[in-house]
Amino acid sequence: MKVEQKHIQLIGDALIPFCGFFLWEWNLYFILLFYFVDMISDEFFLHLKTNRIVKNQPSENKVSWFKYGAISLFLFFLAIAVTHCSMLFIDVGIDFKTEAIAFWNYEEMGVKQGVFLVPLVFLVGFVQYRMEFLLPGVFKKVKIEFVWKKHVLALSGIIALSGLCLATAQFIVFPELVYILLIIFTTSSYKFRFN
């Protein structure tokens, strides 16, 4: 990815939760749900990439795909679980089901988020998959391990950050803005370094 394009994408990725909190009155869990949708999209497109690699490189096999897919799935659910445990201490009395329904039914300019935002996240993922993976022919030369290791590292970072928030929330709970800024800073730093 070109440097200017990377900066534009980083700014866009940071603006969504920032604007959500200040302009649209999203709370911390609402923003986390947005990130969870993005994580599901990443997981989906990693399997598409791996499928393409396996089809085009005889030396790559499905055993590596299964191994990394299983590790990733385990870390994905662990990240979700630790994040939810953290939220129980950060926002005492949170009702996850009510919050998830509110997220799906949230309307902006008369359009429900579940109908618009979720497909938009997958559309952006597809455009990136096409522009950064298919068109340049990356699938012809990249190894499965390389594609999955960055994702596994990202999930491990999410677990570590959620664990840190869970540990500190035992003693002190910061304002939601602090957690949101921490999420934005951490994800932006990771994407700048590894994408």
What is the Cβ-side half-sphere exposure of residue 79, based on CA atoms within 13 angstroms?
23
Rounded-to-integer distance, Cα 170 and Cα 149, Å:
32
Beta strands in the chain (DSSP E): 107-108, 111-112
Q: What is the DSSP letter of 133?
A: I
Q: What is the pTM of this model?
A: 0.89
Per-residue pLDDT of 96-150, as tens digits, reads 999 999 999 888 777 787 788 888 889 989 999 999 999 999 999 999 999 999 8
Rounded-to-integer distance, Cα 5 and Cα 195, Å:
11
Per-residue pLDDT of 40-51, as tens digits, reads 999 999 999 999
